[in-house]
Structure 1
Amino acid sequence: MSTMVKRVDDQGRIEPPVGAGEWETLSSFLDYFRDTLEWKTDGLTDDQLRQNLEPSSMTLGGMLKHMALVEKEWFGQFLSGEPYGEPWESADWGADPDWDWNSATEDSGGDLRRLWKESVVQSQRLALAAYENGGLDGEATKQPMEGEVLRLRWIMVHMIEEYARHCGHADLIRESIDGQTGD
């Protein structure tokens, strides 16, 4: 039996193992991208988290809040049937469909990081429980589309895609703030 070597990069991120099974591969890639977003927002002041790169209004603070919501939605709401909780349930989504992005300018960096981290920890717990209960083929509690079955595997891949896309955005925004580059 071979043992997989854990490789840690210069930013402290654990690189996804090459010879792993499907669950470990998916969860490792998702955690890697979560770590990348954390790295891209680390050490920035509240004002820096509010900076955007024209012409986009996207900010790193807004990205943290958005990804906290995305974690809550896919792992909490769809996979596990849990309520969103605050601050999501009292938000006026009708007045601002991009409330998660836009309201982040009113939040401190500490609050944004805490909200995102709590969502990630909850998502990791819910995903692992779902995997242990039904594997990657396990069905989500809430089905978003009639006639289709949402499974844990799809949620994991979708979350990797969501983080990968936003980490690309984060690269550009971070470089515009302080010149920091890197994947």
Structure 2
Amino acid sequence: MTLLDDQGRPEPPLASDETETLVGFLEYQRATFAWKCSGLDVAGLTATVGASTMTLGGMLKHLAYYEDHWFSYRMRGNKRHAMWNDDDWDSDPDWEWNSAAEDSPEDLHALWQDAVSRSRDLLSETLADGGLDQLARRSLPDGRMPSARWIVVHMIEEYARHNGHADLIRESVDGLIGE
């Protein structure tokens, strides 16, 4: 049975094997991010802090992209999701961040939630096919091949870093604080 904290986030297991521990921490970081982005309108999702142009809406789209990039494109070797082929990365390397301002809160949340759902399924397939030691099916640009373990840990790091940004932005929007 998964324990939930006061915000409804699944607590990572305290004593489990490596796979359950890593997946538990990834799910906790995802749930933290969902909590920080919940219930906000356009103004809340486009708010910035200080000199940064980073927004919660931009983070939703950025993290949706990276869910697809790491779990589908790299780990499973799939073609890019069609959504990511309709952009112009050459003219705007921060396209996913900048274009989020044109998307509705509902669309941004759905985009991220759909990407997370696909990633959960793809990670489950990967774990069933050979576990964390198995190498990605698509190499990095320099030819190196990350393991499934590396991808999961990298995504934990990606969420943890952006959850820190989300903490600051969300507090500036409506005072919501908490880990």
Looking at structure 1, the residues matched to 95 and 128 of structure 2 have their Cα atoms a distance apart, in angstroms, of 34
Residue 85 (structure 1) shift: 2.2
Partner of 2:7: 11
Looking at structure 1, the residues matched to 60 and 141 of structure 2 have their Cα atoms a distance apart, in angstroms, of 27
Residue 81 (structure 1) shift: 1.2
Q: Secondary structure at the match of 1:44?
A: coil
1:160 pairs with 2:156: yes
What per-residue deviation string (whole Å, max 9, x for no partner) do you get for residues 90-112 of structure 1? 10001100000000000000000
Instruction: Tell me, yes or no, if the aligned pair for 2:9 and 2:32 is still in contact at 8 Å.
Output: yes
Residue 138 (structure 1) shift: 0.8
Q: Structure 1: state its 5+ residue gaps.
A: none
1:41 pairs with 2:37: yes
Looking at structure 2, the residues matched to 53 and 147 of structure 1 have their Cα atoms a distance apart, in angstroms, of 38
Partner of 1:30: 26
Looking at structure 2, the residues matched to 58 and 146 of structure 1 have their Cα atoms a distance apart, in angstroms, of 29
C-alpha RMSD over aligned residues? 1.1
1:99 pairs with 2:98: no
Written as runs of structure 1 = structure 2, the 5 A alignment for 1:1-183 is 6-146=2-142, 148-183=144-179
Q: Residue type matched to 1:32 in 2? A: Y
Residue 87 (structure 1) shift: 2.2
Report percent identity of matched pairs. 50
Count of equivalent residues: 179
Structure 1 residues 107, 145: CA separation in 2 closer, same or farther (over 3 Å shift)? closer
Q: Residue type matched to 1:129 in 2? A: E
What per-residue deviation string (whole Å, max 9, x for no partner) do you get for residues 150-172 of structure 1? 11000000000000000000000
